[in-house]
Chains A and B, each alone.
Chain A
């Protein structure tokens, strides 16, 4: 069964009463469990909009999105939040770690919203940090870590809920090329252990690390 199924997805932004902008035009995408897919396109191609829709942060104007067998167009805000928590692991370009908060607590954050008890939260966060190779940085604050390490903490945070999809938005954008490669290597390793990864980038070289490329241009798949 397909994990992500997008059918005839359109997204319109209304800039004015009679002026609209179509960010996505008739998008049809199917992603299977265990895939490593890159969505590539220049800025303004609609890749961020697509990522927000896949990540349940945004709703399409029309079309159908089936996530893990569930039609999300019928779901309410609270249910969407719950699905984001359970099924999606976000990785952002700017890491988005909480300042003045230890790595382990940053990683444990999504588990709070999953209703997991504190001791189990910390145990799982510790395991996730070990998985990304930061077993010795549990109690470090973000500003004590390098960029690459911070992104690893963010990846651990995405992994900790054991989601269906890792959704990475330009994950190497703020890193030097060497550190970026290490992060991409980590993605490959994670994919080998069965994780589904969707990588959003403008850079075709980075996208080449994925097993499949979906190229977006002007809101359309080309």
Chain B
């Protein structure tokens, strides 16, 4: 008996017992769907974060106050000791190798006439900021220049969300917005960068560093961005930054981190997430497989007489074994396909709200896994069916 006939027999049996088949498949469907969906979510998260970060520029090095990843537990409040003089120092000593830009920032309220926008990230940056943070795009107007900053002008470049919240589509260049009663003239609008987990990167505004220091009345820096002139200089520049800053600060006062280090941290976090979530989903696949075995065993018992009859009519043991094995495989394969379609559809729907990416390996893996489950849990019932004694089986009621 060839494989086509076996397949036809199995399909007939599956269709004849529609409800039972559907219930059997359900376990596999849920398992595969959850594998596909969870992997798509984690992979999407990873690609989104990675995209956001590498959008900043691959030569980027951050200097931030305090110690991160030093192997200590959360050590309570740390005092920010990073000051503009440190940035100036770096600028002087790295002038041939890197671009340096200091940042202070605060979440505050912006106002235009009677409209206001709360929770805006207002950042004081230097005029070389767009050169360092490569994802900075100006869609209207211009960025401020060194002379704007040196002249102490109060100018601002606003993010698209701020524009949307404060203005109704009209031209915004030249208009003045207020921060704590100080007026800033809008000279440019930033392009959209998107949001993650409700944090809207576009609800921000950039002003010259000097103006921000006056505005906030602080002399500490939140970040110093350093962009190495070439990718192979990143490590060298990082070492130099540490050396330069160590003259004035202790090693617990600051952290120097490269883009690559940030990306590898994220990669290790998301791969743990993928494993954990994938593992949970895999458990449901195994449970589904046990469901298939259960049904197949019941089916063998229920169809004992049929098996005896088939043997009397000339079915060889392997014909019976193959029929039940193909039946289990078809059920789990069908469950796999439905699960993939369902998982992919749910991922696409989820993609409307957060980034999801369906990697091909998760489709292949979950389908392969469900087929494997069909084989593993189908073999025992199939062998049992094949070994039934036809005389006993025919007498079975």
Partner of B391, one of A52, A77, A110, A114: A52
Contact with B along A71-99 (1 / 0, CB 8 A): 00000011001101110001010001010
Contacts of B339-364 to chain A: CB distance below 8 A: none
Q: Does B394 make an interface contact (CB < 8 A)?
A: yes
Let me know if A206 is at the binding interface, CB within 8 A: no
CA distance A217 to B162 in the complex (A): 104
Find out whether the CB atom of B1 lies under 8 angstroms from the CB atom of A81: no
A113 touches B16 (CB 8 A): no
Q: Could you list 8 A-B pairs, sorted by A, with CB under 8 Å?
A: A57-B390, A81-B311, A82-B316, A84-B311, A84-B312, A85-B314, A109-B310, A118-B8
Asked if B192 is an interface residue, CB under 8 A from chain A, the answer is: no
Q: 3 closest A-B pairs (Cβ-Cβ)?
A: A85-B314, A113-B314, A110-B313
CB distance from B137 to the nearest CB of A (A): 65
Q: B97 near A: Cβ within 8 Å?
A: no
B16/A100 in contact, CB under 8 A: yes
Whether A90 contacts B313 in the complex (CB less than 8 A), given A96-B394, A112-B1, A112-B5, comes out as: yes
B86 surroundings in chain A (CB, below 8 A): none
In the assembled complex, B315 has its CB within 8 A of some CB on chain A? yes
Counting CB contacts under 8 A, is A208 at the interface? no
In the complex, what's the smallest C-beta–C-beta distance from B303 to chain A, in angstroms? 9
B312 to chain A: which residues have CB within 8 Å? 55, 57, 84, 90
Distance, CA A113 to CA B1, complexed state (A): 6
| Cα–Cα distance between A82 and B319 once the two chains are bound (Å) | 12
Q: Does B9 contact A (CB under 8 A)?
A: yes
Residues of A47-68 whose CB lies within 8 A of B: 52, 55, 57-58
Interface residues in B308-334 (C-beta closer than 8 Å to A)? 309-319
14 additional A-B pairs beyond A55-B312, A78-B316, A114-B314, beta carbons within 8 Å, are A57-B312, A58-B391, A77-B316, A81-B315, A81-B317, A82-B314, A86-B314, A90-B312, A92-B394, A98-B309, A101-B12, A110-B313, A110-B314, A115-B1
- Complex alpha-carbon distance, A90 and B319, angstroms: 19
How long is the Cα–Cα vector from A113 to B309 in the complex, in angstroms? 12
B 1-59 contacts with A by CB, 8 A: 1-2, 5, 8-9, 12, 16
A113 to B316, CA, bound (A): 8
Q: Determine how close the nearest CB of chain B comes to the CB of A183; give it in whole angstroms.
A: 19
B306 at interface, CB cutoff 8 A: yes
Task: Indicate whether B305 reaches chain A with its CB closer than 8 angstroms.
Answer: yes
Of A52, A78, A85, A100, which one neighbours B313 at CB under 8 angstroms? A85
Residues of B within 8 A of A55 (CB): 312
Q: Are A84 and B314 neighbours in the complex by a CB distance under 8 Å? A: yes
Residue ID in chain B nearest A77 by CB atoms: B317
Whole-angstrom distance between the Cβ of B17 and the nearest chain A Cβ: 8
Question: Which residues of B come within 8 Å of A, CB atoms?
Answer: 1-2, 5, 8-9, 12, 16, 305-306, 309-319, 390-391, 394
Smallest CB-CB separation from B317: which chain A residue? A77
* Contact yes or no, B391 A113, CB < 8 A: no
A-B contact count (CB 8 A): 58
Q: For A90, what are the chain B residues with a Cβ–Cβ distance below 8 Å?
A: 312-313
Q: Please measure, in the bound complex, the distance between the C-alpha atom of A78 and the C-alpha atom of B311, giving whole angstroms.
A: 10
Contact A81 B394 (CB under 8 A): no
Q: How far is the CA of A42 from the CA of B12 in the complex (A)?
A: 41
A160 closest partner in B (C-beta):
B313
Q: What are the residues of chain B within 8 A of A96 when measuring CB–CB?
A: 305, 309, 394
Q: Complex formed: what's the CA distance from A157 to B318 in Å? A: 22
Q: Among the interface residues A81, A85, A101, A109, which one has the most CB atoms of the partner chain B within 10 A?
A: A81
The answer for the CA separation of A176 and B175 in the assembled complex, in Å, is 104
In the assembled complex, which residues on chain B have CB atoms less than 8 Å from the CB atom of A92? 394
Instruction: Knowing A98-B306, A101-B16, A113-B319 are in contact, say whether A81-B314 is a contact too (CB < 8 A).
Output: yes
Given contacts A96-B305, A100-B16, contact A109 B391 (CB under 8 A): no
Task: Note all chain A residues with C-beta closer than 8 A to B12.
Answer: 101
Cα A100 to Cα B19 with chains together (Å): 14
Q: Which residue of B lies closest to A87 (CB)?
A: B314
| Those of A10-68 within 8 Å (CB) of chain B | 52, 55, 57-58
Would you give the shortest CB distance from B19 to chain A, in whole angstroms? 12
Chain A residue contacts of B314, Cβ below 8 A: 81-82, 84-86, 110, 113-114, 161
A78 and B9 alpha carbons, distance in the complex (Å) = 20
Residues of chain B with a CB closer than 8 A to A110's CB? 313-314
Q: State which residues 154-209 of A face B: CB under 8 Å.
A: 157, 161
Taking a contact as CB atoms under 8 Å apart, the answer to whether A113 and B313 are in contact is: yes
Among B8, B305, B316, which residue has the most Cβ atoms of chain A within 10 A? B316
CB contacts (< 8 Å) of A157 on chain B: these are 313
Chain B residues with CB below 8 A from A81, complex form? 311, 314-317, 319
Residues of the A chain whose Cβ atoms lie less than 8 Å from the Cβ of B316: 77-78, 81-82, 113
Distance in angstroms between the alpha carbons of A109 and B5 in the assembled complex: 11
Residue of A nearest to B306 (CB): A98
**Complex contacts, A109 vs chain B, CB 8 Å:** 310, 313
- Give the residues in chain A near B1, CB-CB below 8 Å: 112-113, 115
Determine if A57 and B391 form an interchain contact, defined as CB atoms under 8 angstroms apart. yes
The docked-state distance in angstroms from the alpha carbon of A55 to that of B312 is 8
A30 to B326, CA, bound (A): 43
Distance (whole angstroms) from the CB of B393 to the closest CB of chain A: 10
